């Protein structure tokens, strides 16, 4: 259960991309702790796109081992709902701004 003010990170490791999934998950968890987030992992049975899983988890950020763990279209969708952090290379991407939408 999420406590008030507790930031949540959605950990994402694409097993088809990773050569060491357990190591990648450990690195994602380590970065999340260092940044002050509690990690939530996807339900392995889910067929939802990553962006929808992130939204359902009410995550503030998606942390993944490297940029290649999400394709460009899904990354674009994720950045509509959350920030993105990568372990290696160490990168940070702010979610897309919603300023001016709907005018």
The token pair at 60 is: 């503030």
pLDDT of 6 reads 84
Tell me: pLDDT of 99 over 80. no
pLDDT per position as a tens digit, 5-24: 789 999 999 999 999 999 99
pLDDT single digits (tens) 9-64: 999 999 999 999 999 999 999 999 999 999 999 998 999 999 999 999 999 999 99
Residue 2 has pLDDT above 60, yes or no: no
Rounded distance between C-alpha atoms, residue 12 and residue 21, angstroms: 10
Element (H, E) at 85: strand 83-86
Confidence of residue 97 (pLDDT cuts 50, 70, 90): confident
Please, what sign has the CA dihedral across residues 22, 18, 92, 45?
A: negative
pTM strictly above 0.85: yes
- The reported pLDDT for the residue numbered 100 is 58
Statement: residue 4 has pLDDT above 70 = no
SS3 label, residue 62: strand
């Amino acid at each position: 259960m999420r406590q008030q003010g507790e930031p949540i990170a959605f950990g994402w490791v694409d097993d088809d991309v990773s050569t060491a999934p357990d190591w990648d998950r450990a690195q994602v968890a380590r970065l999340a702790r260092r940044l002050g987030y509690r990690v939530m992992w996807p339900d392995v049975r889910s067929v939802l796109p990553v962006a929808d899983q992130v939204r359902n988890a009410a995550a503030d950020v998606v942390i993944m081992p490297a940029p290649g763990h999400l394709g460009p279209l899904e990354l674009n969708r994720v950045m509509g709902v959350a920030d993105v952090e990568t372990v290696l290379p160490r990168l940070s991407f702010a979610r897309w701004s919603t300023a001016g939408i709907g005018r």
